[in-house]
Amino acid sequence: MTEDGMTRWWLNKLRKPQVGQSSLVGCTRGVSPTSNVQFVSFLAESGFRQTNPDRYERSLRRRKLAAYGFLGLVLLGFAWVAMESAHALSLF
């Protein structure tokens, strides 16, 4: 895999999910709009596949906090290894 291909692959894996209206209400990128507007209106009024945006925002915040915590642990691990290596080299 070339460098550009690898970068594109990582960007696709790490991209954020799209936040927007449901595909039942309108057309999001990559999703074709539903042609029967009355049916879509019925589904929207009946509460079909409604999500709680507050719960979604909380889950995004928790995911972000977990990612920062993991990054902090990795950085602490690297610092610990560097300090132990420096200490071991100073003994010899």
Side-chain half-sphere CA neighbours of 86 within 13 A: 6
Which has the closest alpha carbon to 20: 11, 30, 7? 30
| Model pTM above 0.75 | no
Task: Determine the Cα–Cα distance for residues 52 and 23; give it in Å rounded to an integer.
Answer: 16
DSSP conformational letter for 26: S
Say what the alpha-carbon torsion angle 54, 55, 60, 64 is, to the nearest 10 degrees: 100
Q: Where are the domains of the chain?
A: 1-50, 52-92
Query: For each successive 10 residues of the chain (92 residues), what is the average pLDDT?
Result: 74 67 50 68 77 82 96 97 94 82
Say which residue the tokens 């979604």 belong to. 56
Integer distance in angstroms from the first to the last C-alpha of the chain?
42
